[in-house]
Every structure is written in structure tokens, then in C-alpha cells.
């Protein structure tokens, strides 16, 4: 059975304890965590083991599960030094996962853009970009094996893995049980593809369904870039999406992001209603919360991907 969760970073608070209290007050029992919520960098160069224990204890006392933790950096950064630094920091994070209480680390396949790992670059389609990804990921997977964790990447239109087809190609090439997928359908639609929503969603699950370990829930209002809207406020066919998750027997966490704290109750209730209808064997057709509104500001988070 799917568990509904949220990005911990949705709640900006001075302390970790206050962040987790806000998660609980809003009705969530699991999170995709980011060490920024505990006052560290997403990928610090060192993590005190006792601080990991503190994070785990704080979550356990509130009955919150860390479904995954963000480990994003630009895996194909054109600067090799930055790639090496990112890999070293990722290794540090993976080594801490056992004490933190999670076994899934979300990653970004990256872009050749030197400034923003969520921004499309024309060189993403080159053989050199793919080779850089395979090189970085190969090293990261060796670290993952050491730490006994799973790396989960997300197909995203601005990144080198910009489709379900390329995601399948990457899985087949790397041939690692430690490599899995974060699915976020709001990030799959290239320019001109929204009219083919059903076929693109179906293709993504045909190709990747058995490798999905985390599912994201946000929305989009236009194609050609990653979606940045709160779940239920755009055009994504949530009945289809959730039905496909059910069809592949996905029993992991469905994580809300791309939303503000103020939107959290509406989005939570929207998805609870959809999931309840799905469990009863019927697709619920009710108005999406705020579907006629557009987002005036981008919510807390880093780009459209899995951070």
C-alpha cells in the first residue's frame, strides 16, 4: 500500500525538531529528507555519526519514516573537479544512511549547463555527456554497493536522461541492482507532448514500472520543462498515474513536492481522495484544488527534480 509523504524542505523552520513537528501536524508519516532541514548542506563533506543518530531519533519519536534522502549534484558537470567533489560528498552521505535510517538516495543525472543542474543544455544529447554520466554513475554505484544503499534517478526533460526510453537504456547499460527510478510524470513531457499524455505515461510504466522505488506527486501546466506546480493544480492525469502505480504493485512512498506549505493540506486531501477511490476500484473525478490558479512563485526546493 502506498504511503503519502512530502519533501521535508517544504517546511522552513529554524530547527530540525520544528521541521518534523510541521510534517506531523500536516498529517504526514514519511518524508523525502534533505540534510538542509537539519542545518547542513545537501551533500556535506562530513557528517557526525552522533548527529545522524539524533536525526533518526527525532524522526522515530514522531513516527516519521525517512523514505529517501536527497543526494543530488550535477553528475555530468562540464567541470571534472566538480564531478569528483560531488561524488566524494555523495559517498559520505551514502555511508551515513544506515545511521540515518534510510536505504534510498535520490540523485540527478545532470546537465552540461555549468550553473544549474536542472537547466537543459544542447550538449546533453552528445555521446560525451552520456559517457560522463556512465563514468560518474559507475563510481557512485561502487560506493552504493559498499554502503548497501539504492541510488534512485529521475527522468527529467532538462537532464541528460530526459525520457523513460533513456532511463531504460541507462538501467540496461549499468546492470546494477543498486540503481532504481524515481518517477515524476510532471517531468516527462517534451514540447508538444501533452496531447499524448496517456501514451507517454503508459510507456514510462511499461519501461520502468518494475524499477520504481519512489514516486513524486506534483503537477504541470505546460510541456517542454519540468513541472513546478502543486499536485492537483495543473493538467496531469492523476487517475491514470495512480492507476499505473497500482498496476505495477508499487507499495513505496508517494512524495508531494513543488508546493508551498499553505498548499500542503489541499494537496494531501486531494491525493488521499484519489488513493481512497483507487482502493475502492473506482476513479474519482472531483475538482482539482486550485486548478484554475497559476503559481506566482516557485516553492522551496531545487529545480524540478528529485531533491
Query: Residue 270's domain is classified under what CATH number?
Result: 3.20.20.150
Q: Which of 194, 208, 286, 284 is nearest to 244 (CA)?
A: 208
Residue 49 lies in a domain: yes
pLDDT in tens, the chain (307 residues): 799 999 999 999 999 999 999 999 999 999 999 999 999 999 999 999 999 999 999 999 999 999 999 999 999 999 999 999 999 999 999 999 999 999 999 999 999 999 998 899 999 999 999 999 999 999 999 999 999 999 999 999 999 999 999 999 999 999 999 999 999 999 999 999 999 999 999 999 999 999 999 999 999 999 988 999 999 999 999 999 999 999 999 999 999 999 999 999 999 999 999 999 998 886 544 344 444 333 333 444 445 555 7
Specify the pLDDT at position 304: 57
Residue 120 lies in a domain: yes
Q: Tell me how many domains the chain contains.
A: 1
From CA 220, how far away is CA 227, in angstroms rounded? Answer: 4
Residue 298 lies in a domain: no
Q: Which residue has the cell 508546493?
A: 259
Residue 291 lies in a domain: no
Specify the pLDDT at position 1: 79
Residue 286 lies in a domain: no
Q: Are 57 and 29 in contact (CB under 8 A)?
A: no
The DSSP line for 40-77 is S-SS-S---HHHHHHHHHHHHHTT-EEEEEE----TT-
Residue 205 lies in a domain: yes
Q: What is the pTM of this model?
A: 0.92
The DSSP line for 95-106 is HHHHHHT--EEE
Name the residue range of residue 81's domain.
Answer: 3-279
Residue 262 lies in a domain: yes
Residue 293 lies in a domain: no
> Is the Cα dihedral 89, 82, 37, 152 positive or negative?
negative
13: helix, coil or strand? coil
Specify the pLDDT at position 78: 96
Specify the pLDDT at position 118: 86
Q: Are 76 and 111 in contact (CB under 8 A)?
A: yes
Amino acid at each position: 500500500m502506498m504511503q503519502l509523504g512530502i519533501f521535508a524542505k517544504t517546511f522552513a523552520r529554524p530547527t530540525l525538531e520544528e521541521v518534523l513537528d510541521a510534517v506531523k501536524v500536516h498529517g504526514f508519516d514519511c518524508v523525502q529528507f534533505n540534510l538542509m532541514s537539519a542545518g547542513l548542506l545537501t551533500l556535506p563533506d562530513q557528517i557526525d555519526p552522533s548527529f545522524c543518530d539524533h536525526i533518526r531519533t527525532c524522526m522515530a519519536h514522531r513516527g516519521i519514516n525517512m523514505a529517501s534522502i536527497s543526494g543530488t549534484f550535477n553528475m555530468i558537470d562540464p567541470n571534472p573537479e566538480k564531478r569528483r567533489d560531488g561524488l566524494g560528498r555523495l559517498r559520505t552521505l551514502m555511508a551515513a544512511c544506515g545511521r540515518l535510517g534510510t536505504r534510498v538516495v535520490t540523485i540527478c543525472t545532470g546537465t552540461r549547463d555549468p550553473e544549474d543542474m536542472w537547466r537543459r543544455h544542447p550538449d546533453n544529447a552528445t555521446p560525451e555527456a552520456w559517457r560522463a554520466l556512465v563514468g560518474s554513475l559507475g563510481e557512485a554505484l561502487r560506493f552504493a554497493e559498499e554502503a548497501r544503499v539504492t541510488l534512485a534517478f529521475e527522468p527529467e526533460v532538462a537532464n541528460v536522461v530526459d525520457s523513460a526510453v533513456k532511463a531504460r537504456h541507462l538501467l540496461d547499460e549499468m546492470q546494477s541492482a543498486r540503481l532504481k527510478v524515481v518517477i515524476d510524470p510532471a517531468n516527462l513531457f517534451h514540447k508538444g507532448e501533452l496531447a499524448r499524455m496517456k501514451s507517454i505515461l503508459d510507456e514510462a510504466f511499461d519501461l520502468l514500472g518494475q524499477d520504481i522505488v519512489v514516486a513524486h506527486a506534483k503537477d504541470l501546466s505546460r510541456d517542454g520543462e519540468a513541472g513546478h506546480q502543486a499536485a492537483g493544480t495543473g493538467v496531469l492525469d492523476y487517475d491514470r498515474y495512480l492507476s499505473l502505480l497500482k498496476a505495477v504493485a508499487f507499495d513505496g512512498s508517494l512524495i508531494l513536492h513543488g508546493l508551498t506549505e499553505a498548499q500542503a493540506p489541499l494537496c494531501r486531501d486531494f491525493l488521499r481522495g484519489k488513493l481512497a477511490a483507487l482502493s475502492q476500484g473506482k476513479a474519482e473525478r472531483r475538482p482539482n484544488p486550485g486548478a484554475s490558479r497559476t503559481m506566482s512563485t516557485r516553492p522551496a526546493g531545487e529545480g524540478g527534480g528529485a531533491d
